[in-house]
Amino acid sequence: MSHEADRTTAHLGAPPEETDQMPVVPYRVLYTDLPVYSDAACRKQISDAHIAVLLPLDPDDQILELDVVPTRVSYQPGQIITWDLNNKRTWEAGWYRNPDSGRVEQAWTMHVEFTGKLIQPKTLEANRAKLADLERRMAPVAAAAGVGQHSSTRIN
């Protein structure tokens, strides 16, 4: 069975896989395990996925857009992860309640499963200067977008 097939059958709440590779653009988990709904009234919860909200650590992006993705993996806020997708599993339109504003927002019209890998602590330590530089360079864009004003979205 392929590694990708293993991910397709992972249960909701599965721990993330790990990697010792540092991607060009790592992602910081801001929120995780948020309920996702198939309707704009947020009455019909989708039972086989939840939402993770990710901050791309890419200072070259002039406009910061958080990534709101469906996943079956259970991450922790603050974790640094890779961008990986499983195109064998998709969800149609999904809505969620934005944890910062409290407003209901459409998360996507169709999205494949997000399966980002957790970057191992030894790799984070070896790349500490790079990560600090990325976050320092991103700080002005993040501040302009309002990221960092909530304790769980603070850029360290």
Q: pLDDT tens-digit profile of 114-139?
A: 999 999 999 999 999 999 999 888 88
pLDDT at 3: 39
| Domain limits for position 86 | 3-153
pLDDT at 42 over 90: yes
Half-sphere exposure of 76 (CA within 13 A, CB side): 5
- Cβ proximity of 62 and 143 under 8 Å: no
Distance, CA of 35 to CA of 52 (rounded, Å):
9
pLDDT in tens, 43-84: 999 999 999 999 999 988 878 889 999 999 999 999 999 999
- For a pLDDT cut of 70, what percent of the chain falls above it? 88
Residue 10's pLDDT band, with cuts at 50, 70 and 90, is low
- From the list 36, 98, 39, 101, the residue with the least C-alpha distance to 71 is 36
Number of domains in the chain: 1
